[in-house]
Amino acid sequence: MVASMFRNVLMLAFFLLLNACAATGVRETVQNKDLPRQHELTKTPFFPQELYHCGPAALATALNAIDINVTPDQLVPEVYIPARQGSLQIEMLAASRRHGALSVKVAPRLDAVLKEVAAGNVVVVMQNLGLSWAPSWHYAVVVGYNLEQEKVWLRSGTFERFEMTLSTFQRTWARSEYWAFVALKPGSLPASDDPDAVAKAIVAFEKNSNKKDAYLSYDAAVKRWPNHLVLLMGLGNSAYALGNYSHATSAFRDATAAHPDSAAAHNNLANMLMILGDAKAAKLAAEKA
């Protein structure tokens, strides 16, 4: 009896804490002056999901939104696991990359999701529409919001424009530990200012992409974050892979200037200078490696 009452008290405390966190996140987002008050991507495609196929439907929505033509049925073998009656997050990201999209995880904040939507990027989110001890996992795509009304709109299940309050969305999304990502065309970048997340995404993307798409992504990222070592090294390597030796040399030179202690940057610069026939400069660069 006492144990049961104690469990009930703990459960009540958990729900009060969850609601308080959701309310705080919504209040901060609604008061965010940097966000447009409302925005909706009305032309986003819609694929009504079949039973348990919310993953393929959500991913098809995100990919078609950037003109990658693929159907949920085509994605089922790639992301749907019958034994689990669902799709794993890692498979959603991997399948997106295989189809030519740069997939970048979104920061675990409500304002970060809405910032992407305001920038024209639909956001795939994972929600738990059930309870923590009886989960009902679901993928949906955020396509719009209105801060004055505190509403968000999603392509979700069989609903083309499913409306949720921001607080309900925040709670159901929180149960997935705020998992979300955007799928972008090569050469496009997310709205967020997180170069490490972008660098990690491009490194994963280039394993499945062609050389040109990897180059386009690195080039765009370096233009926004010109001193980021991973991005500069990636740009140099992708330019080299395309045979653009002068651009590769320039990228590695920039890397050594921004990161003079990077042995890898000096070594790559030395290799490029040797290829270009400048043995003296190559020797000097190698000595700094």
Residue 19 lies in a domain: yes
Residue 79 lies in a domain: yes
Residue 203 lies in a domain: no
Same domain flag for 151 and 94? yes
Tokens of 239: 């330019």
User: Reduced to 3 DSSP states, what percent helix, strand and coil does the chain have, rounded to the nearest 5?
Assistant: 50, 15, 30
Q: What is the CATH number of the domain that holds 275?
A: 1.25.40.10
What are the phi and psi torsion angles at 203 (to 5°)? -60, -45
pLDDT above 60: residue 223: yes
Residue 201 lies in a domain: no
Same domain flag for 131 and 256? no
Same domain flag for 39 and 153? yes
Band the pLDDT of 8: cuts 50, 70, 90.
very low
DSSP 8-state class, residue 134: B
Residue 202 lies in a domain: no
Residue 199 lies in a domain: no
Q: Which of 23-27, 88-92, 177-181, 256-260 shows the lowest mean pLDDT across its residues?
A: 23-27
Same domain flag for 180 and 214? no
Please return the burial class of 126, using the count of CB atoms within 10 Å of its CB with bins 0-12, 13-18 and 19+: buried
Same domain flag for 177 and 215? no
Look at residues 167, 184, 201 and tell me which one is the last residue of a structural domain: 184
The pLDDT assigned to 121 comes to 99
Tokens of 273: 């200078």
Look at residues 135, 167, 184 and tell me which one is the last residue of a structural domain: 184
Residue 76 lies in a domain: yes
Residue 228 lies in a domain: yes
What are the phi and psi torsion angles at 198 (to 5°)? -65, -45
Q: Which of 77-81, 228-232, 265-269 shows the lowest mean pLDDT across its residues?
A: 77-81
Q: What's the chain's average pLDDT?
A: 91
The pLDDT assigned to 289 comes to 79
Say how many domains are in the chain: 2
| Sign, CA torsion 200/206/212/215 | positive
Give 118-135 pLDDT, tens digit per residue. Answer: 999 999 999 999 887 888
Same domain flag for 160 and 21? yes
How far apart (Å, rounded) are the C-alpha atoms in residues 14 and 146? 29
pTM of the model: 0.88
Instruction: Provide, rounded to the nearest whole percent, the portion of the chain with pLDDT above 70.
Output: 92
Band the pLDDT of 236: cuts 50, 70, 90.
very high
Same domain flag for 146 and 225? no
Look at residues 147, 169, 184 and tell me which one is the last residue of a structural domain: 184
Residue type, 168: T
- Using an 8 Å Cβ cutoff, are 90 and 100 in contact? no
Tokens of 68: 């990658």
Adjacent-strand bridge partners of 141: 124, 155
pLDDT above 70: residue 140: yes
Same domain flag for 148 and 37? yes
Query: Quick one: average pLDDT of 255-277?
Result: 97
Same domain flag for 54 and 98? yes
pLDDT above 50: residue 40: yes
State the residue range of the domain holding 264.
209-287
Same domain flag for 156 and 217? no
Q: What is the CATH number of the domain that holds 82?
A: 3.90.70.10
Same domain flag for 126 and 252? no
Same domain flag for 219 and 178? no
Tokens of 57: 């439907």
Give 153-198 pLDDT, tens digit per residue. Answer: 999 999 999 999 999 999 999 999 999 999 999 999 999 999 999 9
Give 261-270 pLDDT, tens digit per residue. Answer: 999 999 999 9
